Amino acid sequence: MGIITFIVTLVQDMALSAIPAVGFAMVFNVPMRALPWCALLGAIGHATRMVLMTTGFGIEWSTFIASILVGSIGIQWSRWYLAHPKVFTVAAVIPMFPGIYAYTAMISAVKLAHFGYSEPLMITLVTNFLKAAFIVGALSIGLSLPGLWLYRKRPRV
């Protein structure tokens, strides 16, 4: 993949991930003045994950690092705009949720219940379920770590 193709793909990925970030921000009743920042943060997070995956990281670690970045930026923006960090961060990580893996695991479970046990179907179910679970875990832990690092520092007495 050439550098121009990669940049075009990255910009397209950023634009397409900003849309669900804004959509979910609207569902969560985020103030109108914060919607562009939710879109930008969703685009930054998804682009970071894409860049890390392109360089060879797995989707779980890429998601973890991208969600740490989203959490850190959200905390900084919350200080600038006097809002809670969740205003920016929760909607921004929604585009990184593992919908395809969860859907594939669910369909495999339904097929197992309907057709009975088969080893390939069970492997598909367990593999996709674990991948979805690890990605959701990476999102939640990665999003909460910056707050723990930045807000829990108290001077020693």
Q: Please give the structure tokens belonging to residue 75.
A: 């905390």
C-alpha distance from residue 122 to each of 8, 105, 130, 134 (Å):
38, 9, 12, 18
What token pair was written down for 91? 């909607």
pLDDT at 155 over 70: no
pLDDT in tens, 67-121: 999 999 999 998 888 888 898 999 999 999 999 999 999 999 999 999 999 999 9
Res 140: pLDDT: 95
pTM (two decimals) = 0.89
Query: Which residue pairs from 122-130 have beta carbons closer than 8 angstroms and sit at least 24 positions apart in sequence?
Result: 128/101, 128/102, 128/104, 129/101, 129/102, 129/105
Q: Is pLDDT of 154 > 80?
A: no
Written as six digits, the tokens of 117 are 């046990």
